[in-house]
Structure 1
Amino acid sequence: METDLAEFEVKSPQDRTIMHVLYGLHTLAWFSGGVFAVIAVIINYVRRADESDAFYVMHHNYMISTFWWTLLWLVVLSPLWLLFVLPGFIAYGIVWLWYLYRCVRGWMRFNSQQPV
């Protein structure tokens, strides 16, 4: 399904900067113990509620769903840490790589003005 970007309103450079900051916070979340991700997802919810541009709403939804799926997988995989450190480390490493992939992919698509 192709999205017609001509129907979207023109956004200000500030709106684009905020989206870049949100993608950056999500991408760097692992280095803050998840604090950046929590801050970013709260801002995603607030900004999405006032957003009229479907393209921006789509990217907010993408970041929000990435956050919640990552949190779900971290909780589901947390018992692996009880077995031994290595299985938990490997599982969390895979989740981290998936999260990083989603953040970078979404950020690149946003920067190219493409839907996710």
Structure 2
Amino acid sequence: MSQELVYERGMEDAKQFARILYIAHAATFFFSLGLLNVIVLIVNYIRRPETAGTMVYSHHTWMIRSFWWYVVWMVAAGFLFITLIGIPLAWVIWVGAWLWMAYRIIRGFLDLNNNRAMPV
């Protein structure tokens, strides 16, 4: 078996695992509003070094950054929610952050399927 075939099989396995992680992010995001995404995030951190130098690496980075920016926006909205004046704005930020995260998951999944690296 040539090295290219081994590399291609390894790359396909890495892509398939990244697909599974996108699906897991989506499932935990939609059904727990992101609370269970921490589990998937840990797997992203563990698997990312194995994909260094490939386009799959950019997808792991994309998922990790998406999670942390989502957390930042949710925490910011939480602080606004504490104040009576900020409650309407907090709801707008929560909905916006939810839609943004849904977009990031969908876009990442589609770009992975089309063999495109994510911008880093």
CA–CA separation in structure 2 for the residues paired with 1:62 and 1:35: 18
TM-score normalised by length of structure 2: 0.78
Paired residue secondary structure (1:78): helix
Mind listing any 5+ residue stretches in structure 2 that lack a counterpart?
1-6
The equivalent of 1:10 in structure 2 is 8
Q: Whole-Å Cα distance in 1 between the matches of residues 45 and 13 of structure 2?
A: 18
Of 94, 101, 107, 1:99 maps to 101
The structural deviation recorded for 1:73 is 1.1
Out of 93, 109, 112, the residue aligned to residue 111 of structure 2 is: 109
Displacement after TM superposition at 1:10 (Å)? 1.4
Partners of 1:25 and 1:36 within 8 A in 2: no
Counterpart for residue 5 of structure 1 = none
Q: How many residues align?
A: 108
Aligned ranges for residues 7-86 of structure 1 at < 5 Å?
9-12=7-10, 13-28=12-27, 29-82=29-82, 83=84, 85-86=87-88
Partner letter of residue 67 of structure 1? F
TM-score (norm 1): 0.80
Q: Which runs of 5+ in 1 are unaligned?
A: 1-8
Aligned residue for 2:8, secondary structure, equals coil
Kept in 2, the 8 Å contact 1:58–1:115? The answer is yes
Alpha-carbon offset, residue 91 of structure 1: 1.7
| 1:48 positional shift | 0.7
**Larger helix share, 1 or 2:** 2
- The alignment's C-alpha RMSD in Å is 1.9
* Higher Rg of the two aligned structures: 2
Identical-residue share of aligned pairs (%): 30
